[in-house]
Structure 1
Amino acid sequence: MLMALLSGFALSQSYRTITAIVAQGLQQDFGLSAQALGAFAGLFGLSFGVAQLLMGITMDRYGLRPTVLASAPVSIAGAALSALAPSHGWLMLGQIMIGVGCSPAFLACTIFIARHFPSERFAFFSGLSLGLGGLGLMLTGTPLAWVVQHWGWRSGFVILALLSVLSWLLILALVHEPERPDAPPRPQESWGQSLRSLAGLFTLPHTWGILALGMSGYAAFLSLRGLWLGPLLINRFGYSLVDTGNVALVLSLISLFAPGSFGRMDPGPIRRRAWIANASLLMAAMFAALAVLRHGGATVALMIALGLLWGYSVLQYTDVRSSYPSELTGRALSLYTMSMFLGVGLMQSATGAVAAWAGAQGLEPYRAVLLAIAGWLALASLAFRFLPASPLLRRP
């Protein structure tokens, strides 16, 4: 059942990163500026992140299977609309639909793991799930780059729409969430009570550091892999589209194993926060180095190192699960997942604006973008380190 749910998450990863492959085609057909391209890529993350607020509550009230089956057709329709889009506006509407339809994909996996696997195995299975989601990133590497190069950017959305239909059928056939005999009955709250309970998480001081970093690490990796990787390698170093796809494929292969590796190395609740903060600062330094590198091979090598490092994000999921009492786990994971993907949307949109500003000032846009990401990561890491931690994580 978990593998069936993960098929939906893998495809959401494909939708999230397809911009790196179709960017040139979109710019040629619709005359998109760097800022408009960033807004297009970011709209998926923004709609995905905002929808998380409702998806967590919906899963608590109605279950994982009904929520995923009801939302996935929206993403399929959005992909079809994107493939047929006659203008930029219709393309943006398609992105919103895809983001909303994909929004419960990974949340369903994490809640399923939290409910049906031992707590001490949560980090491992969450890492494994994040890694298997990398199969979707692989699709938007060399395979989709080859298709898009030969048949155009619209063919990419057609393929993803067809695969999404297959995923929906797989979930329909295989996912029937078992009820644990020892599980307490689900409370029948009103929507108002559910929303107030979710809002109550914001009154807890440790929530703010968690959200600040949640909106940063994964967003930085996806902004590079899903938006700027193609334009950077093509325009700065003269790579072809397929060459760029090959780099994206290598990053995607790495992403299959990096989260699981960090999940196995989980140092426990006390030391985990220091690991997370230090990894985030190191990631910021690597983005700063990318900004100034002028050698194509060294740039690709550093991108690969970033692909290895980003797996620390799985430790943040484990930190969230350890930071709240069990009755708040589902909603805390929902809120954190919202922050991750809202961060992706905000960072992609913001870096598009930074690129446009840098171009207007006669500066190289990619250097400005990478430095902006580095600064964002550094500030978020400091917030996570110095804002209060959960009382549940304090030493006895």
Structure 2
Amino acid sequence: MRATPDASAPAPDTGASAAASRRLWVMLLAFTAGFAMSQAFRTVAAILAPPLQRDFGLTPGELGLFAGAFHFSFGALQLFMGLGIDVWGTRRTMLAVFPLAIVGALLASVAQGFGGLVAGQVLIGIGCAPAFVVCTVFVATRYPAERFAALSGLVMGLGGAGLLLTGTPLAWVVEQWSWRTGFQALAVGAALAWLAVLLLVREAPEPPGGRTRPGVLAALRGYGALFTLAHTWGIVALALVTYAAFLALRGLWLGPLLVDRHGFGLVASGHVALAVSVVGMFGPPLFGRIDPGERLRRRWIAIGTLSVAAMYAVLAFSRSAAIDVGLSVVMSLVAGYIILQYADVKSAYPAHMTGRAMAVFTMAMFLGVAFVQWLTGLAASVATAQGWDPYAWVFGLVTLLLLAGTWAFVALPAPRR
């Protein structure tokens, strides 16, 4: 005889479930606002490079150091951000650290020389250090595992709004007022993002699975455990070059390339940066949605990296404005495959190591950005001194780095699933 439903049993409270889902979305969007401002700060050099070179007489090497200072401080602090998230939580970590980005932007806006600019960039990098890792840890700990790639891709896509700010809008502000006003405007945006986290985000009552939060020493020991796993090294090797390659163009050399090689004005180059940013917003959500899963994901990552390397090789030898602009736009879409690296990290480590694994991965990405921006600046300086095309050297160097990172990713041990 078929059992009949118990009429006295309470029905699922779908209203409460929907309200909880909405609260999660609101909190995730507040964190994403902070990430968007981080995206804006890390790409200011592409638009501010020409006026800074004019006002302070910066060499290409100094320009690379200025851009890289943000990424070096951002990357160097990732281990501490992961520790803070594991010990104190995402909200507390973001609220404690992000105000330094506001202070750094205001300091840069009143800088009277190269040293003041670099000091401001360092503070901004420290302040933005938790911006994306809090988003990925929030998604990893508050949503089902099967939604991680899609939601992380969505966050990265929405965070691309910050790249829009450093396209035409920032170029227009700089032309109307000055680059100092640009930094001040970004400081206001960062303050509003911090306020959104303060008012809208609530810490999880306890870590998933009823675990207690680890102490500081236990969290530090957890980092050591990460590096005893053989597959960590291949993940880190590729992380050093993939996002660095994207930001080498969008975050530093796009503006100088268009102005110097093709004679574009600042606002015209801002329009190109805006187009690159708009198209780039669709890449991470697209690849997050079509994530092929663990069996094929690493192959897709390798193919994506080789595709970007091929585009850089063409940029190195191109002398056509149409080709350079078109490849920059296409590359911004293809670079969305980087979100698959986050999914690869998420699936490569147990849940209790998620915060630290994401922090190590993000640290590698941004130390790679700092290193590549400094190295390409050095290459441009040497090429300029010899009377060679600096952009051929810059883009050729990035091509070689991408090939080396892909080789390490494929040749070193893969995670055991």
TM-score, normalised to structure 1, is 0.97
| TM-aligned CA deviation for residue 186 of structure 1 | 2.4
CA deviation map 1:347-376 (0-9, x unaligned): 111110110111122211011000000100
Aligned residue among 133, 145, 157 for 2:171: 145
Aligned residue among 86, 95, 111 for 2:121: 95
Q: How does 1:101-120 map to 2 (within 5 A)?
A: 101-120=127-146
Matched, 1:384 2:409: yes
Aligned residue identity for 1:228 = W
Unaligned runs of 5+ in 1: none
CA distance 1:182–1:62, change in 2 (3 Å):
closer
CA deviation map 1:31-67 (0-9, x unaligned): 1100000000001000000110100000111111111
CA distance 1:181–1:337, change in 2 (3 Å):
closer
Whole-angstrom distance in 2 between the partners of 1:350 and 1:330: 30
CA distance 1:51–1:182, change in 2 (3 Å):
closer
| TM-aligned CA deviation for residue 177 of structure 1 | 2.6
Aligned residue among 38, 44, 57 for 1:18: 44
Q: How does 1:130-141 map to 2 (within 5 A)?
A: 130-141=156-167
Stretch deviating more after TM superposition (192-201 or 309-318): 192-201
| TM-aligned CA deviation for residue 269 of structure 1 | 0.4
CA distance 1:267–1:169, change in 2 (3 Å):
same
Whole-angstrom distance in 2 between the partners of 1:271 and 1:180: 34
| TM-aligned CA deviation for residue 293 of structure 1 | 0.9
Which residue in the other structure is 1:43 paired with? 69
Flag as ranges the 4+ runs of structure 1 deviating above 6 A: none
CA distance 1:236–1:282, change in 2 (3 Å):
same
Give SS of 2:281's match: helix
Which residue in the other structure is 2:363 paired with? 338
Which residue in the other structure is 1:28 paired with? 54
Matched, 1:214 2:239: yes
Which residue in the other structure is 2:9 paired with? none
Whole-angstrom distance in 2 between the partners of 1:314 and 1:143: 27
Stretch deviating more after TM superposition (175-184 or 317-326): 175-184
| TM-aligned CA deviation for residue 340 of structure 1 | 1.2
CA deviation map 1:170-191 (0-9, x unaligned): 11100003336962222432x3
Whole-angstrom distance in 2 between the partners of 1:193 and 1:309: 39
Whole-angstrom distance in 2 between the partners of 1:192 and 1:67: 17
Aligned residue identity for 2:397 = A
Stretch deviating more after TM superposition (107-116 or 207-216): 207-216
| TM-aligned CA deviation for residue 193 of structure 1 | 2.9
Aligned residue identity for 1:204 = L
Which residue in the other structure is 1:200 paired with? 225
Which residue in the other structure is 1:351 paired with? 376
TM-score, normalised to structure 2, is 0.92
Whole-angstrom distance in 2 between the partners of 1:120 and 1:150: 47
Aligned residue among 323, 334, 338 for 1:298: 323
Matched, 1:121 2:147: yes
Which residue in the other structure is 2:308 paired with? 283
Whole-angstrom distance in 2 between the partners of 1:163 and 1:172: 14
Aligned residue among 340, 359, 366 for 2:391: 366
Mapped contact 2:207–2:213 kept (Cα < 8 A):
no
Whole-angstrom distance in 1 between the partners of 2:107 and 2:78: 23
| TM-aligned CA deviation for residue 5 of structure 1 | 0.4
Give SS of 2:212's match: coil
Whole-angstrom distance in 1 between the partners of 2:84 and 2:272: 38
Aligned residue among 188, 201, 215 for 1:175: 201
Aligned residue identity for 2:41 = Y
Mapped contact 1:52–1:103 kept (Cα < 8 A):
yes
Whole-angstrom distance in 2 between the partners of 1:271 and 1:353: 37
Mapped contact 1:38–1:353 kept (Cα < 8 A):
yes
| TM-aligned CA deviation for residue 327 of structure 1 | 1.6
Matched, 1:238 2:275: no
Which residue in the other structure is 1:320 paired with? 345
Whole-angstrom distance in 2 between the partners of 1:218 and 1:150: 32
| TM-aligned CA deviation for residue 155 of structure 1 | 0.9
Mapped contact 2:301–2:340 kept (Cα < 8 A):
yes
Give SS of 2:334's match: helix
Aligned residues: 391
Mapped contact 1:60–1:186 kept (Cα < 8 A):
no
Aligned residue identity for 1:379 = A
Whole-angstrom distance in 2 between the partners of 1:267 and 1:388: 20
| TM-aligned CA deviation for residue 205 of structure 1 | 1.1
Mapped contact 1:131–1:255 kept (Cα < 8 A):
yes
Matched, 1:76 2:102: yes
Report the structure number with the largest CA radius of gyration.
Answer: 2
